[in-house]
Structure 1
Amino acid sequence: MQEILDAILADQLDAVGSLPVPEHYRGITVHADEAEMFSGMPTRDKDPRKSLHLDEVATPELGPGEALVAVMASAINYNTVWTSIFEPVSTFGFLRRYGRVSPLTKRHDLPYHVVGSDLAGVVVRTGPGVNAWKPGDRVVAHCLSVELESPDGHSDTMMDSEQRIWGFETNFGGLAELALVKSNQLMPKPAHLTWEEAASPGLVNSTAYRQLVSRNGACMKQGDVVLIWGASGGLGSYATQFALNGGAIPICVVSSPAKAEICRQMGAELIIDRSADGYRFWKDEHTQDPTEWKRFGSRIRELTGGEDPDIVFEHPGRETFGASVYVARRGGTIVTCASTSGFEHSYDNRYLWMNLKRIIGSHFANYRESFEANRLVDKGMVHPTVSKVYPLAETGQAAMDVHTNSHQGKIGVLALAPREGLGVTDPGKRERHLRGINRFRGV
């Protein structure tokens, strides 16, 4: 790995393809024999620092249509938290099922799982049939893994019957020194960003793009009022940028004055600090409080001059979903991509059917949507939201920060990169966008 890293740091990328690929590399793993380690514990008490390991693992065989990437940096997503606490299920079930698809996918069915669904790095090798990429290319990766052998995915690859999230439902993910990806996951690295900045948008940026902008999601238009839960977080920070860029009117829901200030710096004007206002949508573990939905809806109308949200950007899930369905306007859309506070949602269906509202399920993004989202980052129209960066050896703490929601935006992880700030090849472009790039730093 050191020879490869030296060539990358010296900008001798043409030499990368001729250097030997190591037989082993360091990666962040969970172990199958520890899948029950948190059994019986409340979710909040499960500690990723105990389950995420930095291990030496064998370099996988490179197959047709695949690429091996030297990972300079990666990032933490909530799926890594789920993997680390073995909720809602152990990911080893995913690996076993994937391993049954073909002799080639059998490589993924191992007693350890190398995790991570983001990366920025340099292509080291490509397998047979790869023509668009070559060793030495600077790349980022989206996390959609598809087989496309059935007709289902050929109008929208997210509909493929063998659709999976790389590094979550497959092995050899991005929180490592090397990663194995399908070549159709690769996209050009934005030249004005550092490795850690370029790695951070991938999953959440593409997810927010499909969920909010794409015709496969809410199909947001100019003037739409968009309620965004967790507007300063990993997903919400990109949704806020897309709303502002697209001429919509974001209502940013946050949980502290510091998070509210971040939203103002992004350009949002309508902000609800749910902690300061004391919203409690559940009376107890089993009973929601519709009076709080109504109070929340009244606050939204105060901010908008009497308008309800055209779109509700949902991802907290159980805690907020009843309120989301209630506050959406007549004929409005609730689009959901996650359930970080719980997977079992309940809401009053009268407010849905009698007011002709729609609930849309949205999951990651197809290649085209991911490419468009990355293009906006490359053009400086959407900026990374990195607030903090950890070394690979401290990935457990990085995941813990996300698990406890004690972070802002995205948390980056340095893999091969020896320090922050490396990888910029267009400093002039960077200078023009530096304020936006650094907006979340140190918060």
Structure 2
Amino acid sequence: MNTTYTDQIYEPGTLPPLGCIPRRMHAWTIRQDRLGDPLTAFRDEIVELPALKPHEVLVANVSVGINYNGIWAARGAPKNVLDANGTYGDDRQSFHICGSEASGIVYATGEAVSNVRVGDPVILSASKYDPDCPWIRSGGLPEYSPTYHMWGYEGNWGAFAQFSKVSDYQCVLKPSELDWDEAAVCCATGTTVNRMLCHWDGNRIREGDVVLIWGGAGGLGTSAIQQTRAYGGIPIAVVSGTERGAYCKSMGAVGYIDRTRFTHWGSIAGLD
């Protein structure tokens, strides 16, 4: 597909035709002089779209997930991500675009990209690393590589913008059974839960295992309920009320424990 570039700025919620790339876009940015309260740290700005390297993909974001690392980035704590802007292979910018989960449509690809094409609907994973890292090339898990970092937190050009720049391996074709919103929020919680259930030797879930899921009505909890059921386990949710317990059962939990009925939780009892 031939690519054309335009000086037109598209309003949020609208996309240019496939093959048409705007030179500038709306982005929800943070800057050094605004760090602090997230309500004022983020601001809508017009920024130039980034150029693509051979293994990079430009994705028009349709739906975006909100992760707590956006709060950390806006506050500048526990670390100031703007201080590291430009250290992961991108040109240094005075702004930072957060957002570590999204679903969208491929609008352009670098010359070496082969796993996705323009027009593909994709889910974007937050995990970034150097595939040529010696640790990874020797079979090590990417998350233990010294090059590993989080897109949209430690790395720039995240999901809080009309377009995002990602590495090709971050793109997964969106299953048709997921709508855009569901697809945008399945990666961070889904992979975290999957590692809890399946990653550690001697602690992998087996069919018939009972899995106690604290915070069953939250994002991690609801994903854990569904994955436990998919692996043949028996999910039991721990919640703070009967309404949340009923919600967990609707997601597949076989039962729940309402922790507000008990007083033996120690320091946790006064959190509500």
Q: TM-score, normalised by structure 1?
A: 0.54
Deviation at residue 78 of structure 1 after TM alignment: 2.0
Deviations 1:115-170 (A, max 9, x none): 10111111111112111212111111111111123221232222222011111110
Deviation at residue 250 of structure 1 after TM alignment: 2.2
Residue 121 (structure 1) aligned to one of 104, 110, 126? 104
- Flag structure 1 segments of 5+ consecutive residues without an equivalent: 8-15, 38-46, 284-291, 293-318, 320-340, 342-404, 406-443
Deviation at residue 113 of structure 1 after TM alignment: 1.1
Residue 228 (structure 1) aligned to one of 205, 209, 213? 213
Correspondences of 1:141-220 after superposition (within 5 Å) = 141-154=124-137, 155=139, 156-215=141-200, 218-220=203-205
Is 1:130 aligned to residue 140 of structure 2? no
What is the SS of the residue equivalent to 1:235? Answer: helix
Q: TM-score, normalised by structure 2?
A: 0.85
Distance in 2, matches of 1:115 and 1:217, equals 37
Aligned counterpart, 1:59 = 49
Deviations 1:311-347 (A, max 9, x none): xxxxxxxx9xxxxxxxxxxxxxxxxxxxxx9xxxxxx
What is the SS of the residue equivalent to 1:5? Answer: coil
Distance in 1, matches of 2:15 and 2:201, equals 40
What is the SS of the residue equivalent to 2:219? Answer: coil
What is the SS of the residue equivalent to 1:231? Answer: coil
Aligned counterpart, 1:92 = 82
Distance in 2, matches of 1:50 and 1:123, equals 31
Residue 80 (structure 1) aligned to one of 62, 70, 81? 70
Runs of 4+ in 1 over 6 A off after TM superposition: none
Deviation at residue 248 of structure 1 after TM alignment: 1.7
Aligned counterpart, 1:299 = none
Residue 266 (structure 2) aligned to one of 281, 290, 306? 281
Distance in 2, matches of 1:198 and 1:143, equals 13
- Flag structure 2 segments of 5+ consecutive residues without an equivalent: 1-8
Q: Which has the higher contact order (CA 8 A, sep 6+)?
A: 1
What fraction of aligned residue pairs are identical, expressed as a percent?
32
Deviation at residue 66 of structure 1 after TM alignment: 0.2
Residue 241 (structure 1) aligned to one of 218, 222, 226? 226
> How many residues matched?
260
Aligned counterpart, 2:3 = none
